[in-house]
Amino acid sequence: MASSDNEKPAKSPVCIITGGASGMGLAVAEHLWQLGWNVTIIDVNEESGKEIAAAHGDSALFFKANVADYEELSVTFAKTWDRWGRLDAVFGNAGIGDRISFYKPQPDRADGTPPKPSTAVIDIDLLGPIYCAYLGFHFFRKNPDKSGKLIFTSSMAGIYPGPTIPLYTASKHGVVGLTRALAQQLRELGEPVTVNCICPGLVHTGLTKIYSFTTPEEYITPVSTIITAFMRFIDDSSRTGQAAECSGENIHYRVQPEWSDDKAEFLGNGGLAKAMKQHNVKLY
């Protein structure tokens, strides 16, 4: 039965997972279902998504949506709220890899410039999490206590350079930066929402199958490590702004670099924001 403003919210917590029909997203969804959660999975794989949701009955919803399309994604959040009347967590997990070789020489067009490169990986891997955050905050604030847990999938490529996959690397670095920026500001605003990200090594998923068969098994990160990192963020509200690097069975919490000097700290640690507020200067 759908929930409305006149009905009580579901008793069990609710999570939205993008990229939830396979890989890490599905593994986390299955774990949450075992714990009694209600889960909405969002994916472009309609056949698998429908089968998975059907197997979990009333505790599951599936929507086919492109996370880089705000209108498509916003509908899934609204329908999740209509169904259960609450939203406790969002796992912005959908991702793809680079679609082009950035270094490959390209032919000239008529004007002597190369063809426009595909930026789909930026749209899915960075714009998608931005939309998840924006929508998540909106619906978290509808909860009676206005709380929520926002968790993104970044990557080790969000910490280290990935020379052969530069656009993927850029997007995943962006997710780590987004995590830290959002967490810091929400903490200063006093909002009870935590923001964290998971930075996996090589996990057996559809995205990584091209690498998996050439990688020694001891260098593969089991999906159980991802689930552990995810649940730590769910269970501990004191954790926010953290990047959990998952390497094998190890989880390393990677802190931001130290401030280089007092000038950098002034700019990045609230000094500039306080000065602007003091002088009534508004960004937007």
Q: Which residues are catalytic?
A: 168, 172
**CATH number of the 14-278 domain:** 3.40.50.720
pLDDT above 90 covers what percent of the chain?
Answer: 83
> What is the rounded CA–CA span in Å between residue 20 and residue 37?
14
Which among 184, 202, 196 is positioned nearest to 243, based on CA atoms?
196
Query: Phi-psi category of 65—alpha, beta or left, where left has phi over 0 and alpha has psi -120 to 50?
Result: beta
> Which residues contact residue 134 at a Cβ distance below 8 angstroms, ignoring those fewer than 6 apart?
none
CA distance 20 to 40: 8
Name the token pair of 19.
């990229």
Check whether 212 has a pLDDT greater than 90: no
Is the pLDDT confidence value at 230 over 90? yes
Looking up tokens 């994916």 gives 43
* Mean of pLDDT over the chain: 93
- Mean pLDDT is lowest, of 74-78, 115-119, 267-271, for 267-271
Higher pLDDT, 208 or 44: 44
pLDDT for position 58: 97
- Measured between its terminal Cα atoms, the distance across the chain in Å is 41
Confidence of residue 262 (pLDDT cuts 50, 70, 90): very high
pLDDT at 209 over 80: no
The domain spans of the chain are 14-278
**Residue carrying structure tokens 């472009």:** 44
For residue 283, what pLDDT is reported? Answer: 75
pLDDT at 4: 44
The proportion of the chain whose per-residue pLDDT surpasses 70, expressed as a percent, equals 94
* pTM summary value: 0.93
In contact, 129 and 170? CB cutoff 8 Å: no
Task: Give the mean model confidence (pLDDT) for residues 49-78.
Answer: 98
pLDDT at residue 25 is higher than 70: yes
What would the pLDDT profile of 154-167 be if each residue is shown by its tens digit?
999 999 999 999 99
> Tens of pLDDT along 68-86?
999 999 999 999 999 999 9
